[in-house]
Amino acid sequence: MTQRCGFVAIVGRPNVGKSTLMNRILGQKISITSRRPQTTRHQVMGIKTEGEAQYIYVDTPGIHILEKDRNKAINRFMNQAATQALRDVDCVVFIIDRTRWTAEDQVVLERLARVEAPVILAVNKVDRLKDKSELLPWLESVGARRDFAAIVPIAAKHGTNVPELEAEVARHLPESVHYFPDDQITDKSQRFLAAELVREKVMRQLGDELPYQMTVEIEEFRDEGKVVHISALIMVERQGQKKILIGERGERIKKIGREARLDMERVLGAKVMLNLWVKVKRGWSDDERALKSLGYDLD
């Protein structure tokens, strides 16, 4: 039988369910998720091999409008990372949210105007629609905005119509040898996944401001077989943020560590000894040199 393999970019504005969709397709957690916009900051590759077909999905940061407090170096990096993922892909899945079209959806659509690959529109969270009769007119309305290869209403969290979306993607996979071993599921290292899991727990625990002025760096990752020793540094921009993150008598940082460790043990298949530290580094999120040293590098 002929082998097929192709790259599929998953794009959209922040918080429409891109990472949830990729995790659902892969059947396990590769991209972190939270209710906060801009949870994903890097391109994250998820690889799914079924028989002769290999799908290489690329989860991307949400494309957003740069204005006011969202015009720091890290915001520019995220937009560039998402746009870069559109180069040389075989298919694009563009996700929008139910019957809402926003200015940021329009920005994504305009960027897709320069993409020659077929674009599939995935309308997510349709399970939350109170009036299902609104869906068909809405699909017709958004379908007029571009010549989409297909329009598929989905509920990524529950898996509704996700197999149908995958079938549409499969139609656009070119004939090719597989680029990755059939049992590989991501291109990211275990160190990267560990840092992301800590960051996810912080984002889920804290309020609106801190998550976007916080990053995580793994200082030690020592695999001793049955036990993995991990030391993670959580970096914030102000002393007050450090105090919030640690919490009264250290309770918040303990909870973050406990939840992150349990997820790490599931991902790594080993017992994890996790140490968390909090450090103040002023202005890191708007310092391109600091960002590169922390792994925010398009190369």
Positions at the binding site for GTP: 12-19, 59-63, 124-127
Q: Which residues are known binding-site members? A: 12-19, 59-63, 124-127
> Of 105, 100, 149, 97, whose CA–CA distance to 123 is shortest?
97
* Tally of CB atoms within 10 A around 214: 22
17 closest CA partner among 132, 162, 148 = 162
Cβ distance 21 to 156 under 8 Å? yes
Please say whether the beta carbons of 62 and 82 come within 8 A: yes
* The residue type at 22: M
CB 10 within 8 A of CB 57: yes
Measured at the alpha carbon of residue 65, what is the angle toward residues 165 and 112, in degrees to the nearest 5? 40
* 213/269 Cα distance (integer angstroms): 31
Residues 8 and 53 sit within 8 Å (Cβ to Cβ): no
Q: Give helix then strand counts, H and E, for the chain.
A: 9, 9
Q: Residue 28 contacts by C-beta under 8 Å, 6 or more apart in sequence?
A: 185
